[in-house]
Amino acid sequence: MNRVPPFGVGTFRLQGQVVVDSVRNAIELGYRAIDTAQIYRNEAEVGEAIAASGIARDELFVTTKIWVDNYAKSKLVPSLKESLAKLRTDYVDLTLIHWPAPDNGVPLEEFVAALADAKAQGLTHEIGVSNFNIEQTQRAIAVAGQGEIATNQIELSPYLQNRKLARFLQDEDIAVTSYMTLAYGKVLADPVIGEIARRHDSTPAQVALAWAMQLGYSVIPSSTKRENLASNLLAQQLRLTDDDMAQIATLERNGREVSPAGLAPVWD
C-alpha cells in the first residue's frame, strides 16, 4: 500500500509571502499534501498557510526533510522539533533525509537510526529518504527495518526516467516520489509531449504528471500561479493510452538537473 499521497504541492524555491499564497491557493483548490524542507527556509510560512486554511490537521499530509547539518544523532530530533514549531504542528506525516551526503562525516546508519527514533517519539508518522541510490536505500532498510522506509523522493521526469532505481523501490514496496517531474519546465516544450497533450485536449504539464502517476509514482509539482495549481490538479483525471506511455518512454536522455557535489550519491 502506498502510504504517500499520489499528488501534492511542492514548495522548493518559494519564499515569504509567495509560498504562503501558493500553499493557501493549493489547499483552497483541494490539495491535501504539502512538501517542504528545512533547507527551503519556508517551513514557518507553510505553517502559517496551513494554520490559516481552517482545514483539520488530520486531513493534511505534511512532509519535511532533514538538512545535512542536522544529521548527527544529537541534532536530528531537536532540528525536527524546531521544524514542527515552525509548521505549528505536533507531528509531520513524513520526514525524509534530504540527501545521502556521503562526505559530511555522519554515517548513514547513524542518521537513519536517529530518524527512526523520531518516528518512535511520535514526531513523524512515516520516515523516508530522498536522493538515495539503491545501495544506500538497502542500508537504510537494514537500519530502520523492512517496511519502515515509506518513500524515496527522487528526481524523475520523462527526460530522466530512473527505471532501475524505480523498479528496485517498487519491488521493495517503497513509494517513488517524483520531484522535478517537468524538468524545470523543459518537458513542456517537448514535441512528443505536446502532441499527446493535443490528442487529449490537455496541457503538457498534465501529460507529464499523469505519466508519472500512471507508473505508480507520487508527484509534488509547485507553482506560484493559482491557475497552474488548478490545472496541475486535473492531471489526476487524465488517462494516457499504452501508446502515449510508450512514446514518452522513448524520451529518456539521462537529463539530470540536480546533482550537488558532496551531497549526491553515485547515481544508479
CA angle 19, 23, 29 (to 5 degrees): 145
Catalytic residue flag (residue 40): yes
Q: Is residue 213 part of a domain?
A: yes
Q: Is residue 4 part of a domain?
A: no
By residue range, what is the domain housing residue 146?
A: 9-249
Q: Is residue 135 part of a domain?
A: yes
Say how far apart CA 181 and CA 218 lie, in whole Å: 10
- Secondary structure element (H or E) that encloses residue 34, with its range: strand 33-35
Q: Is residue 263 part of a domain?
A: no
What are the DSSP E strand ranges found in 87-195? 92-97, 124-130, 149-155, 175-179
Q: Is residue 2 part of a domain?
A: no
Q: Is residue 256 part of a domain?
A: no
149-155: strand order across its sheet: 9-10, 33-35, 61-66, 92-97, 124-130, 149-155, 175-179, 218-219
The predicted model scores a pTM of 0.97
Instruction: Tell me which of 31, 40, 71, 159 is the catalytic residue.
Output: 40
Cell of 165: 532505481
> Which residues carry a binding-site annotation for substrate?
98
pLDDT digits (tens, 9 = 90+) for 58-115: 999 999 999 999 999 999 999 999 999 999 999 999 999 999 999 899 999 999 999 9
Say how far apart CA 31 and CA 258 lie, in whole Å: 26
> Which residues carry a binding-site annotation?
98
Could you tell me how many helices (H) and strands (E) the chain has, helices first?
A: 10, 8
pLDDT digits (tens, 9 = 90+) for 223-237: 999 999 999 999 999
- State the total domains in the chain: 1
Q: Is residue 105 part of a domain?
A: yes
Q: Is residue 63 part of a domain?
A: yes
pLDDT digits (tens, 9 = 90+) for 144-153: 999 999 999 9
CATH number of the domain that residue 147 is part of: 3.20.20.100
